[in-house]
Amino acid sequence: MRLPIPRPCEALSLPLKWMPAGMHARGLALVVNRLFADALDAGELDFLEGKVLHVEVEDVGLHYRLVMRGGRFAAAAAEAPVDVGFRGELQTFLQLAARREDADTLFFQRRLRIEGDTATGLHLKNFPDAREGALLPPALQYSLERMTDLYGRYCGREDVAAV
């Protein structure tokens, strides 16, 4: 008996699904700490101190829990109670990261959902847009935009604009 061959986009997510969630969260914490180093040093994210954030990428089945401790993000324990959570599909998070769509548009289209402490969630949702200048170096921004295009073309929902 042959096992079904996963679709290309499903195959891309398999290695991520096999990795322990803690590894994902540690990697995400490193990236966020690097991207927002200036804001963290300036105390702009101090409102998150001690709060557990949960990010769920629904269509890929990934969950990330981060906590702010001592002005830096770190992986949170899987059983840590969540203060605020963000849920959406990978295409939604890619569009948000690439700044193709603003968080308000995704939120009102119900493609980005906020749960828990909504005041903190709304403040955090609006944080990247309130920052001046580019969040990513140009080469990384270009790569993210191309990845967003490719994922949207081959893996994203065709009716994304109609949601």
Strands (E), 14-142: 52-57, 62-69, 72-75, 84-88, 113-116
Better pLDDT: 22 or 61: 61
DSSP strand pairing (84-88 vs 72-75): unpaired
In a domain, 103, yes or no: yes
In a domain, 163, yes or no: no
Query: Which pLDDT score is estimated for 7?
Result: 60
In a domain, 33, yes or no: yes
Query: Which pLDDT score is estimated for 158?
Result: 46
> Which three-class secondary structure state does DSSP give residue 111?
coil
Q: Is the pLDDT of residue 94 over 60?
A: yes
- Please state, in angstroms and rounded to a whole number, the distance separating the CA atoms of residues 64 and 77: 10
Query: Which pLDDT score is estimated for 14?
Result: 66
Quote the number of domains for the chain. Answer: 1
Q: Is the pLDDT of residue 83 over 50?
A: yes
In a domain, 160, yes or no: no
Maximum separation of any 2 CA atoms in the chain, in Å = 59
In a domain, 2, yes or no: no
Q: Which of 52, 40, 61 is nearest to 81 (CA)?
A: 52
In a domain, 3, yes or no: no
Structure tokens given for 124: 């955090």
Query: Which pLDDT score is estimated for 138?
Result: 85
Q: Is the pLDDT of residue 49 over 60?
A: yes
Render pLDDT for 22-35 as a digit per residue (tens, 0 to 9): 677 888 899 899 98
Q: Is the pLDDT of residue 6 over 70?
A: no
In a domain, 81, yes or no: yes
Query: Which pLDDT score is estimated for 153?
Result: 83
Q: Structural domain of residue 47, as residue ranges?
A: 8-154
* Sheet of 52-57, strand order: 72-75, 62-69, 52-57, 84-88, 113-116
In a domain, 159, yes or no: no
Q: What is the CATH number of the domain that holds 126?
A: 3.30.1050.10
